[in-house]
Structure 1
Amino acid sequence: MTWLATLLDAGEYIATLPKKEHAVPEWQAAMEALILVTESGGPTMFARIEVMRAMNRHHVLEFNPKGKEPHWGRRKLKRDQ
């Protein structure tokens, strides 16, 4: 796991990626966001979002249709006993 604390860390991390990885659209978007933030002084949250999206692009979220069970129907009120 890589810790990126600053925009400079993120830029250096992207620069050290292999060419094949560097050409992935997610990393291209992350680089563009970093450039926009550093040159235009825009919100750093956009760059953070894009870098996180690129780093976690292989992670697949699993949908659990069951989810948490609702609390109603499990307990009886004292008056109903």
Structure 2
Amino acid sequence: MTERGWGRRFEDPIRIGDRVLVTLLDAGEYIATLPNKEHAAPEWQAAMEALILVAEGGGPTMFARVGILRALNRHHAPEFNPKGKEPHWGRRKLKRDQ
């Protein structure tokens, strides 16, 4: 049976500046100390929901970890490289075709 409770540890601790979130309780306390405007953001609401589901219902702690990391990085816009990988135009010539 899956272990339950707020004392469960993350597989990889979450580092936020000089603070380290090791358990689900640490993450819950961090979210509770956020300013109201940030706390009300949809990303933090989803992170809290995932945290509560994992702590009280069991399941992998990775779900809660992903929710918190997504909320922490919500202002980061991934850069898009339109060039991407250069295509190889033309087919490779085989010795038999020469």
TM-score, with length taken from structure 1:
0.77
1:55 maps to a residue whose letter is L
Corresponding position of 1:21? 38
User: d(CA) in 2 for partners of 1:20 and 1:56?
Assistant: 16
Percent identity between the two aligned chains: 76
Unaligned segments of structure 2, at least 5 residues: 1-14, 90-98
Q: How many residue pairs get matched?
A: 73
Runs of 4+ that moved beyond 4 A: none
Which residues of 2 match residues 1-81 of structure 1 at below 5 A? Answer: 2=16, 3-69=20-86
TM-score (norm 2): 0.65
Secondary structure in 1 aligned to 2:25? Answer: helix
Which blocks of at least 5 consecutive residues in structure 1 are unaligned? Answer: 74-81
**Larger RCO (CA under 8 A, 6+ residues apart):** 2
Hey, which of these two has a bigger chunk of strand by percent? 2
More helix by proportion, 1 or 2? 1
Cα offset for 1:21? Answer: 0.7
After superposition, the C-alpha distances for 1:45-72 in whole angstroms (9 at most, x for unaligned) are: 11111111000000000101223446x6
